[in-house]
Chains A and B, each alone.
Chain A
Amino acid sequence: MNARILHIATNTFREAVRDRVLYNLIAFALLMSAAAVLVGQISIQIEKLVVINLGLTAVSLFGIVIAIFIGIGLVSKEIDKRTLYTVLSRPVRRWEFIAGKFLGLAGTLVVNTFFMAIGVFAALAYVSHHLESPDLGVLVALYFIVLQFVIITALALFFSSFSTPIFSAIFAFWLFVIGNFAQDLRNFAAMAHGTARLLAIGAAYLVPNFSALNVISQVAHGEPVPHRLILLNTAYVLVYSAAVLSGAVLIFERRNLK
């Protein structure tokens, strides 16, 4: 890999992990997993289902908050504080800066997810006293959650390349919400006619398909996740993120940094 991209990614990772706000969010996520154990104890025979549902939802939500919270400032904060000036005055191309920032935040989120996942598995082991092979589905759900983070990171970085942090956060958050209803949007597109159908199809495919990446309920009920879905989702996220990042690079390459 390009060494400069790696150095930018490392610096981004270092800045992110030393930010105390990150630790607070991870702590909240771990507390949620612990709370899931308590809730599970008052739900007869479905403790495991409650722990997996609540625990993974906490990992997903808090991870999305971290991705948006850090992602929206990745470019705009560096412009506002002029830290970008001393980077781009060096032999660093603008696309390398975007790529490095993306990898740095994605790496941060993977590490965060790892620690939050420990909490989920600890809670699961506590309620079920031992882990079984269907519990490996939780790993797949966690992998899909990380893929969601990759898309959100790319989107936050895209908006950050031209917009203010507030608007970037609003756009990224709303895309996350709408993306969870992407399947409904596609169903609507199938039923619509004329211009509405065209618009609905366009929106359905532009909006990230977070509904396909959400297998929490399936895994909580012990249903296996098909290998084909894992491959398709991975390919989808890679292509979608690459497209979004390309857009970020195109905008950023032409931007005057006032």
Chain B
Amino acid sequence: MRAIEILGLEKIYNAGFWRKRSKRALRPLNLAVEDGEIFGFLGPNGAGKTTTLKILMGLVFPTGGSARILGMELDDPRMKAQIGFLPEQPYFYDHVTARELLRYYGQLSGVDPKQLSRKVDAALEQVKLSGSANVQLRKLSKGMLQRAGIAQAILHDPKVVFLDEPMSGLDPMGRREVRNLIEELKADGKTVFFSTHILSDAEALCDRVAIINQGELRGVGAVAELTASVHGKVEIVWHSIAIPAGIRSMGAECHSAGDTTRVILPEENQDAALEALRREHLRLISVVPVRTSLEDYFVAQLGTSAKSEAVSSRT
């Protein structure tokens, strides 16, 4: 069974004082997420990622289309008892402690009262918040609030977990912990659907990704399949600081250090570059394909304007 099925989901907002200006936040979206996979939902700010998540959570009503989670309708309470949701940059009640918060959410999710204390303790332990369990949430740091948010999303042992920007506000150690947690969820047989800006995390974690921009789906598939569709590059290194004119004219990125030169150029120019080196009698050291990253695919799909909004692999 598919964990999530999105069938032509569409959202148009009516803006303006008289509600006559329409703004299309989501074009008809068709997407399916298989049971047990980690699925990345990528796109720049304003692409429609959060709108899609809010429709799935029943917070926003779609203009058209439908969706099913675990084979059930979006307003089915039986479905809602089996999903967990972490909103972007979560904020919780000021005067409640982490333990009280989890107990409250556990009660709302219908967790057996006899199991509730044990599940709360387990969730706090899993997100490493046991030491701060009895501190009021207003005193916790942003990273700790994020972990409390993850705890409330997984406390009731849901089958599908939705995470909106789960790495947001976390330092590198925190991001590593969340990545490990997502892998643990998959190992437990759960389906994880998460939206993110951080392409390197999506590349490392996801079985499949979807890329959305301006409310429209631009690509779906396994990371390897998507990156294979982008024309690759090749790195050529030779012994000399001389750069043949033919290679310069290809628009290659050239770097000279010591007595070697390294260039990176499109794969289709490889033969012409090697011929230019042969004519100049320059000694070749290596020819190595450069792996195409998800960022390259992202930029190829969305154009350079989106690149500045997406966080690159170097972040």
A residues bordering B, Cβ < 8 Å? 3-4, 7-8, 10-11, 14-15, 18-19, 81-93, 254, 256-258
Contacts and interface: CB of A to CB of B under 8 A. Distances in A.
Nearest to B84: A89
A89 B85 contact: yes
A18 B95 contact: yes
Interface in B83-104: 83-96, 100, 104
Nearest to A79: B59
A92 B92 CA distance: 17
Contacts of B93: 11, 15, 83
Contacts of B152: 86
Given A86-B90, A91-B108, A11 B60 contact: no
Interface residues of B, number: 37
Contacts of B149: 86
Contacts of B83: 89
Contacts of A258: 60
A13 to B, nearest CB: 11
Given A89-B57, A90-B81, A91-B109, A83 B92 contact: yes
B108 A92 contact: yes
A91 B80 contact: yes
B104 A7 contact: yes
A68 to B, nearest CB: 19
Nearest to A97: B108
A7 B100 CA distance: 11
A88 B90 contact: no
B173 to A, nearest CB: 25
Nearest to B61: A256
B165 to A, nearest CB: 12
Chain B facing A: main interface SS: mixed
B68 to A, nearest CB: 16
Given A7-B108, A14-B100, A82-B87, A88 B95 contact: no
Please list the 6 inter-chain residue pairs (A to B) with the smallest Cβ-Cβ separation, ordered nearest first.
Answer: A18-B95, A91-B77, A89-B85, A91-B80, A257-B59, A81-B91
B87 A14 contact: no
Contacts of B64: none
Nearest to B86: A86
Contacts of A89: 57-59, 80, 83-85, 162
Nearest to A85: B87
Question: Which residue among A10, A15, A83 has the maximum number of chain B CB atoms within 10 Å of its CB?
Answer: A83
Contacts of B24: none
B61 A14 contact: no
A22 to B, nearest CB: 11
A86 B108 CA distance: 10
B146 to A, nearest CB: 13
Nearest to A87: B108
A91 to B, nearest CB: 4
Contacts of A254: 61
A15 B91 contact: no
A82 B54 CA distance: 11
A257 B91 contact: no
B139 interface: no
12 contacts: A7-B107, A11-B96, A11-B104, A18-B95, A84-B59, A86-B86, A89-B57, A89-B80, A89-B85, A91-B108, A257-B60, A258-B60
A90 B95 contact: no
A257 to B, nearest CB: 4
A84 B60 CA distance: 12
A209 B134 CA distance: 45
B109 A90 contact: yes
Given A4-B107, A82-B89, A89-B162, 17 more contacts: A7-B107, A11-B93, A14-B96, A18-B95, A83-B92, A83-B93, A85-B59, A87-B108, A89-B58, A89-B59, A90-B108, A91-B77, A91-B78, A91-B109, A91-B110, A256-B61, A257-B54
Nearest to A254: B61
Contacts of A90: 80-81, 105, 108-109
Nearest to B104: A11
Contacts of A15: 93-96
Residue with the highest number of chain A CB atoms closer than 10 Å, among B84, B88, B105: B105
Contacts of B136: 18
A83 B92 CA distance: 6
B108 A4 contact: yes
B92 to A, nearest CB: 6
A8 B108 CA distance: 8
Contacts of B85: 85-86, 89
